[in-house]
């Protein structure tokens, strides 16, 4: 079955603002680099208008990814990719470099956070928690011993202790807390099924289901970290390597439904200035939260003085969400994932970049019907 080319609405997303408006919104933006990105965007728009949709669709998204990247820095230091654009301009191939950078960000970073979920998912075996595990962890914490976070079970249990057996957004109480009589009975809030949501996915620590396997898996993880650094997302590799991917700063206790939309970039947390660990909850369709359950703003608190989710990790996740939606990358990946059965199989652990690159190349080569 032949795939259809992306409809115009899927690739037109949100156009980049003018240089003047960009400087008003982000005074630190590199004017020279941003002007080059605007030129690349204009070339892609013109090419698309002339009917050259096969390559123009991806080039337009790529240019807008780089443009919104410039307008959504995560710290005060210019990311290395900015100097790549400027150096390419001296060689006369800035548009090619911008397209390449946008494609790399899409293949490796957007797809890192927007994990592939099959349309008919296979349910993972439930994580079994016991009263004795919680008692041991609590005693270790009170004795100021640092429990080892080496697996999903220990991580979820310690996160539940930190978050008082509640979803960090809705405040609903986890079923484990009720069934093991670890919360007040009857529970003061409705109950729900919670999951341990990783901000940076487990595939960055364990690409082969718990230990490094084939060399290509190790190479992919190394490449992903290099690319994160390339785009200014630095200083995290040592913090999250191996079993450290399970550190409490990288996990949230979320209702299972919220976890799904968080992993799909339809829900994220925007930091509220001057209010520590307080976030505005942002959502995008197809997720339409019930306002009586999902507040507009939430403040994370911790029991036992355990570490809360890292503001830096959440800031990077939020930046990726904004860039992916503004550029049209979310809709583009949704299209790729829907057509995956015709073009191959994507990994379900977040490490899909090599196959995704192949899918995107195939998609861009298919003519319009």
What's the domain range around 356? 8-119+344-364
Question: φ and ψ at 270, to 5 degrees?
Answer: -100, 120
pTM comes to 0.86
| Predicted local confidence at residue 11, as pLDDT | 41
Both 98 and 173 in one domain: the answer is: no
Q: Count CA atoms within 13 Å of residue 223 on its CB side.
A: 17
Both 174 and 45 in one domain: the answer is: no
Both 137 and 101 in one domain: the answer is: no
Whether 8 has a pLDDT exceeding 50, the answer reads no
Q: How far apart are CA 296 and CA 118, in angstroms?
A: 30
Cis peptide before 136 (omega within 30 of 0): no
Both 17 and 159 in one domain: the answer is: no
Both 357 and 300 in one domain: the answer is: no
Q: Is residue 267 classed as helix, strand or coil in its secondary structure?
A: strand
Whether 109 has a pLDDT exceeding 60, the answer reads yes
Question: pLDDT tens digit string along 132-180?
Answer: 777 777 777 776 666 666 678 889 999 999 999 999 999 999 998 888 8
Percentage, residues of the chain above pLDDT 70: 79
| Predicted local confidence at residue 358, as pLDDT | 46
Both 231 and 274 in one domain: the answer is: yes
Both 147 and 257 in one domain: the answer is: yes
| Predicted local confidence at residue 115, as pLDDT | 77
Burial 182-221 (b: 16+ CB within 10 A, else e): bbeeebeeebbebbbbbbbbbbbbbbeeeeeeeeebeebb
Question: φ and ψ at 354, to 5 degrees?
Answer: -60, -45
- Compute the average pLDDT of residues 280-301: 95
- Compute the average pLDDT of residues 56-84: 93
| Predicted local confidence at residue 277, as pLDDT | 98
Question: φ and ψ at 298, to 5 degrees?
Answer: -140, 145
Tell whether 53 is covered by a domain: yes
The DSSP output letter for 349 is S
- Cβ burial of 357 (10 Å; 0-12, 13-18, 19+) is middle
| Predicted local confidence at residue 152, as pLDDT | 80
Distances (CA, A) of 355 to 46, 254, 279, 328, 358: 30, 29, 35, 20, 5
- Compute the average pLDDT of residues 106-129: 72
Both 184 and 307 in one domain: the answer is: yes
Whether 362 has a pLDDT exceeding 80, the answer reads no
Both 177 and 293 in one domain: the answer is: yes
| Predicted local confidence at residue 341, as pLDDT | 54
| Predicted local confidence at residue 27, as pLDDT | 94
Distances (CA, A) of 154 to 186, 242, 255: 26, 15, 18
Count of domains forming the chain: 2
Nearest to 207 by CA among 195, 225, 230, 229: 225
Length, in residues, of the chain:
369
DSSP strand pairing (173-174 vs 191-192): parallel
Nearest to 223 by CA among 347, 104, 100: 104
Residue 127 confidence class, pLDDT cut points 50, 70, 90: low
| Predicted local confidence at residue 188, as pLDDT | 77
Both 89 and 142 in one domain: the answer is: no
The DSSP output letter for 360 is H
| Predicted local confidence at residue 135, as pLDDT | 77
Tell whether 191 is covered by a domain: yes
- Rounded to the nearest integer, the mean pLDDT of the chain is 83
Whether 254 has a pLDDT exceeding 60, the answer reads yes
221 CB-near residues (< 8 Å, 6+ apart): 203, 204, 207, 212, 351
Among candidate residues 282, 304, 319, the one where a domain is terminated: 319
Q: How far apart are CA 81 and CA 236, in angstroms?
A: 18
Residue 225 confidence class, pLDDT cut points 50, 70, 90: very high
Tell whether 124 is covered by a domain: no
Both 80 and 188 in one domain: the answer is: no
- Compute the average pLDDT of residues 359-366: 46
Residue 184 confidence class, pLDDT cut points 50, 70, 90: confident
Whether 302 has a pLDDT exceeding 80, the answer reads yes
More confident residue, 208 or 281: 281
- Compute the average pLDDT of residues 199-212: 70
Tell whether 327 is covered by a domain: no
């Amino acid at each position: 079955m032949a795939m259809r080319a992306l409809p115009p609405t899927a690739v037109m997303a949100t156009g980049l603002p003018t240089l003047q408006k960009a400087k008003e919104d982000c005074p630190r933006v590199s004017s020279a680099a941003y002007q080059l990105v605007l030129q690349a965007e204009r070339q892609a728009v013109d090419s698309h208008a002339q009917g050259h949709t096969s390559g123009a669709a991806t080039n337009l998204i790529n240019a807008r990814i780089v443009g919104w990247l410039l307008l959504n820095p995560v710290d005060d230091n210019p990311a290395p990719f900015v100097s790549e654009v400027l150096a390419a301009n001296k060689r006369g191939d800035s548009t090619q470099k911008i397209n390449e950078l946008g494609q790399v960000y899409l293949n490796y970073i957007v797809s890192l956070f927007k994990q592939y979920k099959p349309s008919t998912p296979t349910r993972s075996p439930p994580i079994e928690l016991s009263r004795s595990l919680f008692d041991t962890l609590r005693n270790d914490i009170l004795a100021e011993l640092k429990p080892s976070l080496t697996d999903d079970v220990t991580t979820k249990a310690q996160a539940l202790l930190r978050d008082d057996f509640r979803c960090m957004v809705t405040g609903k109480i986890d079923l484990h807390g009720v069934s093991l009589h670890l919360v007040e009975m009857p529970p003061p809030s409705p109950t729900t099924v919670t999951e341990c949501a990783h901000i940076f996915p487990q595939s960055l620590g364990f690409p082969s289901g718990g230990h490094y396997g084939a060399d290509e898996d190790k190479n992919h993880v190394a490449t992903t970290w290099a690319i994160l650094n390339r785009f200014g997302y630095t200083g995290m590799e040592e913090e999250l390597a191996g079993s450290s991917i399970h550190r409490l700063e990288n996990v949230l206790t979320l209702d299972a439904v919220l976890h799904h939309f968080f992993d799909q970039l339809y829900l994220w947390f925007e930091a509220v200035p001057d209010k520590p660990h307080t976030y505005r909850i942002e959502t995008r369709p197809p997720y339409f939260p019930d306002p009586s359950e999902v507040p507009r703003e939430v403040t994370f608190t911790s029991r036992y003085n355990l570490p809360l989710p890292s503001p830096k990790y959440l800031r990077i996740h939020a930046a990726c969400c904004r860039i992916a939606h503004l550029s049209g990358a979310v809709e583009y990946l949704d299209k790729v994932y829907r057509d995956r059965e015709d073009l191959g199989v994507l990994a379900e652990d977040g490490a899909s970049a090599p196959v995704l690159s192949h899918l995107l190349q195939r998609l861009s080569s298919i003519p319009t019907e």
